[in-house]
Structure 1
């Protein structure tokens, strides 16, 4: 298959590319350092990326930013940034994919554990992650027969925890999280939120 990986240079994106490249033609996209450039917060950038891309069998998004900060310090701009990037960026990846993903193709988005298990500081992220999951389920219904839509919800990633000075063992390695994206790609499922967490 011919695949587009959005966020190909990130922690999860690199592992997804590594996992899928041996069996598929993988095109990477990110803000910089990839085959294609894209700014998720800019719909015109997404449209331009698809125009350069042509047609693929699947799109996997392992990108999207949102603000992590105490509720009292989050500004209107912080919420607007979070909504326009991780949420609307992924919504627009699906909306603008028409004509660029083959019939019956696969679209995989990324949410995160903070949708179900918020922590102090996660107000903006929790909103965005929960909304991505709701959108994924809804889009799967709307696109039934045309494309499959699933969402991967990673828990804490071991490498991220290590970078934060915490125990890697409390998380799931990025390479293991990448397997969830492969499942979304190859299994005949749609409207699913695939949770990857260590409990």
Structure 2
């Protein structure tokens, strides 16, 4: 297996920190996050994303597990609540691709992160459902036009086990997904050959 130079954006989050630990023996992992990582980045800022790529240099793969969106009662949502997810989870990941394609080696890959609410909405999840669905469409469309043999996929996990205590009450009837199963989804995107795929990890 070829050892890749992988930039992992969102390295201190639940999924990101797990991936750093699981992938570090297989690949060179460059950890990036808004704080507490060797490389700092604010994905809501294109200037910050550009500085990150300039600091890191060429990479073979980019994995993004960063991004926030509004979670709350739909009946009280206002326009700014929608823009939280648009600026962060949606455009943050899209800009990581649009800027990052200039720093990705030929035949490299992008792996974005969405979530089950694109397909299986819950109460208070309108903001997340919206941006996850938009990211699915972006991945499938962008894959058609990616230059230099670059691949792009999204991993779409369900409620992960470490988040069960905090978010479980909002996901009645949802089976929590073990982290090792989620990890295999990212491994499929990183080391496999598929592109334009939404890798759903629900149970």
State whether TM-score is above 0.5.
yes
Candidates 177, 180, 192, aligned match of 1:175: 180
Distance between the aligned counterparts of 1:87 and 1:141, measured in 2?
19
Deviations 1:75-119, CA, capped at 9 Å, x for gaps: 211111110100000110010013311011010001100000011
1:82 maps to 85
Q: CA deviation at 1:170?
A: 2.5
User: Any gaps of 5 or more consecutive residues in structure 2?
Assistant: none
**Which residue is equivalent to 1:101?**
104
Partner residue in 1 for 2:194? 189
Segments of 5+ residues of structure 1 without an aligned counterpart are none
Q: Does 1:25 align with 2:25?
A: no
Report deviation, 1:144. 5.3
Task: Within 5 Å, give how 1:10-159 maps onto structure 2.
Answer: 10-143=13-146, 145-159=148-162
How far the C-alpha of 1:175 sits from its partner, in A, is 2.9
Distance of 2:10 and 2:32 partners within structure 1: 6
Q: Indicate the SS of the match to 1:170.
A: coil
**Alpha-carbon separation, structure 1, partners of 2:143 and 2:101:** 14
How far apart are the structure 2 equivalents of 1:117 and 1:7?
Answer: 24
TM-score, length-scaled by structure 2: 0.93
The answer to whether the 8 A contact 1:6-1:60 is kept is yes
Root-mean-square deviation (CA, aligned residues, Å) is 1.5
1:160 and 2:163 correspond = yes
TM, length-normalised to structure 1: 0.95
